[in-house]
Structure 1
Amino acid sequence: MLEYKIGQILEGTITGIQPYGAFASLDEQTQGLIHVSEIQSGFTKNIHDVLKIGDKVQVQIIDIDEYTKKISLSRRTLEKQFVHHHYRKKRYFTNKNKKIGFKKIDQELPKWIEEALNQLTNEEK
């Protein structure tokens, strides 16, 4: 195993892809993990859209675990500028204009207490 240092920039080959990241071979005996958050700037929904097994990629070592010797890699740190990805606006269950959805606890609490008391009195009968 070669001596690697944090901050070092290397070329690796993608050897495996999982939902949490991609594995890159750095030499014959050493491989590291590019976590999904380090694949690229912004959100990566599907790693397979960005990387394929066998791709040659430039990576930077961002961490080396002292005990397990696991190497964490990043492609994002090597980007010249932040790439902004446009995504659809998140939709919420409630609609403020229609006044539907969840109500405040202080509005609901008296009704809940009454329901609970009724249920308890019905169980006792």
Structure 2
Amino acid sequence: MVPKVNRGDIVDVKITGIQPYGAFASLPDNSTGLIHISEISDKFVKSIDSFVKVGEFIKVKVIDFDEETNHAKLSLKAIDNRYRRRNKRVYYKNPRRSIVETPNGFTPLAKAMEKWLKQGITEEN
């Protein structure tokens, strides 16, 4: 007997169907699940077929399980995020160039703001 899946489990599932809104899967305990399109990837998903295929076995994370319907909400991107967050590095486009603050700070903008507001009010009327 295969143990029942629980929230937070990482399991191998078989993709049984694909729709525009997500991919259906069969879990090891013979329950069903859906990987919603928003749980496929952090990036834009134009076509689910470019990420999974019917009949393919993939690892997913169980993000919720309904005992009454025996249906799971699954996430593919939760598996990818576990590894990507740990190794994520921040790169700056131009690390040598620093921000230089003027001696007056924001004072010139504050003074100009009054003029801009008056000009905007007169243009509206």
Higher helix share: 2
Q: Does 1:49 align with 2:50?
A: yes
Aligned-pair distance for 1:10?
A: 0.4
Structure 1: segments with no counterpart, 5+ residues = 83-106, 108-125
Structure 2: segments with no counterpart, 5+ residues = 86-123
Q: Which amino acid aligns with 2:69?
A: T
Cα RMSD (Å) of the superposition? 2.2
Q: TM-score, normalised by structure 1?
A: 0.59
- Does 22-31 or 69-78 show the bigger shift? 22-31
State the match for 2:95 in structure 1: none
Q: TM-score, normalised by structure 2?
A: 0.59
CA–CA distance in 2 between the matches of 1:66 and 1:54? Answer: 25
State the match for 1:39 in structure 2: 40
Number of aligned residue pairs: 84
CA–CA distance in 1 between the matches of 2:53 and 2:43? Answer: 19
Question: Helix, strand or coil for the counterpart of 1:58?
Answer: strand
CA–CA distance in 1 between the matches of 2:29 and 2:64? Answer: 20
State the match for 1:72 in structure 2: 73
